[in-house]
Amino acid sequence: MGDRLYLERFIWFDHQIRTGRYPNATALAEHFECNVKTAQRTIETFRDRFGAPLEYDASRRGYQYEDPSYQLPVTQLNENELLALLVSRKLLTDAAAGGLGEELNKVASRLNRLLAENISGAVDPETAFSFRWKAFTPSNTDIFRQVLTALTTHCPLSFRYYSPHKNQCTTRTVEPHHMVNYQGTWHLIAWCRLREDWRDFVLARMSECQVGLAPFSPRDVSQWRSFLDATFGIFQGQESFEVTLRFSNALARWARGQIWHSRQRFHEHASGELDITLPVSHETEILMEILKYGSQVEVLAPERLRQRVRDEIEAMMKKY
């Protein structure tokens, strides 16, 4: 039996003791739909592995704690930690729409039970917190599971991949190294054997996935970490370059509070305008971000990006 299943039973058993219900193997077996022998082994593991001071009360036909001050290790959290866990529980639930499916909902439910037993006050995570992603692309649950299997077992993954820019599909075999949820859409960072280079694959564009049998040797994290940390966004180009944007007086205060990249730099002007400089590796993604702010932001550098903005404005003018 896995540790996670044990833990759920321990949490339930601990709660039953603390509420004066004197649980026993029969009650545990009925609640978790297992046989009594399995339930008794769970109780013994609880005592031997977690050091639970269990004492059997024959008159009550159940267990109590010999030392009432005992705390199950997983519940030894302060209120701030429990609140952080509560918010994380809601994040897990909301993220299920991105391809994690029923498994995440089960984990979220277990967290909810733990929170209900340990936090003071009536806080409902369904109404108190939420997480939203706009215009994200959901992935197929079966494909998500196959990608996850390949990633965790270090096995190659083969699939058909659709490129919306070229409007064509290619067959790829890759070595998965990392999954990232970027603004609600799942991406796989992998070594592509066809291109002999690192690539970022959107799970929603995959089809006909198959997990290979022969494991590969994972490459060092330094080889792919740049996909996450090196530059703004997740689109990748051949090399990074710096972009400087000037925000108007009206948007400067808002822009000052934004984190676009860990290496961003600010320069404030006496006029109230604000310059932000940050590393970028792909013009398309930063261009989409710039256009969101219309006339309230100006590209100062590089010149080729200024020209792309001009070209886009001219194309928009023809539409309107």
HEC readout, the chain: CCHHHHHHHHHHHHHHHHCCCCCCHHHHHHHHCCCHHHHHHHHHHHHHHCCCCEEEECCCCEEEECCCCCCCHHHCCCHHHHHHHHHHHHHHHHHHHHCCCHHHHHHHHHHHHHHHHHCCCCCCHHHHCCCCCCCCCCCCHHHHHHHHHHHHHCCCEEEEEEECCCCEEEEEEEEEEEEEEECCEEEEEEEECCCCEEEEEEHHHEEEEEECCCCCCCCCHHHCCHHHHCCCCCCCCCCCEEEEEEECHHHHHHHHCCCCCCCCEEEECCCCCEEEEEEECCHHHHHHHHHCCHHHEEEEECHHHHHHHHHHHHHHHHHC
The CB-based long-range contact list for 55-58 (8 Å cut-off, 24+ gap) reads: 56/24, 57/22
pLDDT value at residue 142: 87
pLDDT value at residue 108: 59
pLDDT value at residue 32: 87
pLDDT value at residue 238: 57
pLDDT value at residue 243: 94
What are residue 297's phi and psi, to 5 degrees? -135, 145
What percentage of the chain reaches a pLDDT higher than 70?
76
Residue with tokens 């290979």: 212
Residue 244 token pair = 């400087």
Q: Which CATH class is domain 3-74?
A: mainly alpha
Give the CA radius of gyration of the chain: 27
99 vs 135: which has the higher pLDDT: 135
Q: How confident is the model at residue 72 (pLDDT cuts 50, 70, 90)?
A: confident
73-77, 246-250, 277-281: range with lowest mean pLDDT: 73-77
Q: How confident is the model at residue 1 (pLDDT cuts 50, 70, 90)?
A: very low
List, for residues 291-318, the tens digit of each pLDDT value.
999 999 999 999 999 999 999 999 999 9
Q: pLDDT at residue 24 above 90? A: yes
pLDDT value at residue 97: 46
Q: pLDDT at residue 3 above 50? A: no
Q: Please give the mean pLDDT across all residues of the chain.
A: 83
Q: How confident is the model at residue 70 (pLDDT cuts 50, 70, 90)?
A: confident
Cβ atoms within 10 A of the Cβ of 247, count? 22
CATH architecture of the domain covering 141-220: Roll (2.30)
Q: How confident is the model at residue 139 (pLDDT cuts 50, 70, 90)?
A: confident
pLDDT value at residue 69: 85
Cβ atoms within 10 A of the Cβ of 63, count? 25
List, for residues 211-270, the tens digit of each pLDDT value.
999 999 999 998 888 777 766 666 665 578 899 999 999 999 998 888 888 889 999 999
Q: 231 with 281: CB under 8 angstroms? A: yes
Q: pLDDT at residue 277 above 90? A: yes
105 vs 67: which has the higher pLDDT: 67
- d(CA 186, CA 54) in angstroms, rounded, equals 45
What are residue 214's phi and psi, to 5 degrees? -90, 115
Tell me the average pLDDT across 38-59. Answer: 90
Q: pLDDT at residue 173 above 80? A: yes
Q: How confident is the model at residue 93 (pLDDT cuts 50, 70, 90)?
A: low
| Dihedral over alpha carbons 110, 113, 118, 121 (to 10 degrees) | 130
Tell me whether the omega of the peptide bond preceding residue 73 falls within 30 degrees of 0, making it cis: no
Residue 137 token pair = 């692309």
Q: 183 with 151: CB under 8 angstroms? A: no
